[in-house]
Structure 1
């Protein structure tokens, strides 16, 4: 645990340089999000809404109906 805490708190120059290099090389990621981010968000929201609309309306699930008073015991057979 001590090694993990020491590594997590290590803010030396080398660690800072590694983080800077990592962020500098993420240009492709920024271009992807700028180009496709909003269409992906809209298509995902549309897909999610369509699936839930289908589930709510077409599957025949009885939503939150209480069985109290509706379940009757069967007659005893001898």
Structure 2
């Protein structure tokens, strides 16, 4: 069990060093593509919801107030 724990700690240390070494590299992906991806995602979501709302014929659960009439009570006849 000791060897397993020792190797597990060693692996996590190696992984942490790899992450630290790559994090020092210049990361300009967000600077390059971030705004375009954000605008594209907003456009895509807007287009999909516009299609769903206007074309699919889904009956939305709108308020039934003023559309339903309550049933009349039937009085229980006393014996």
| TM-score of the two chains, using structure 1 as the length reference | 0.52
Structure 1 segment 1-78 matched on structure 2, within 5 A: 3=5, 7=9, 17-25=17-25, 27=26, 30-64=27-61
Q: How well do the aligned residues superpose, as a CA RMSD in angstroms?
A: 3.0
Unaligned regions of 5+ residues in structure 1, if any?
Answer: 70-78
The structure that has the greater radius of gyration is 2
Number of residue pairs aligned between Structure 1 and Structure 2: 57
| TM-score of the two chains, using structure 2 as the length reference | 0.51
Q: Which portions of structure 1, spanning 4 or more consecutive aligned residues, are displaced by more than 3 angstroms?
A: 14-19
Greater RCO structure (CA 8 Å; 6+ sep): 2
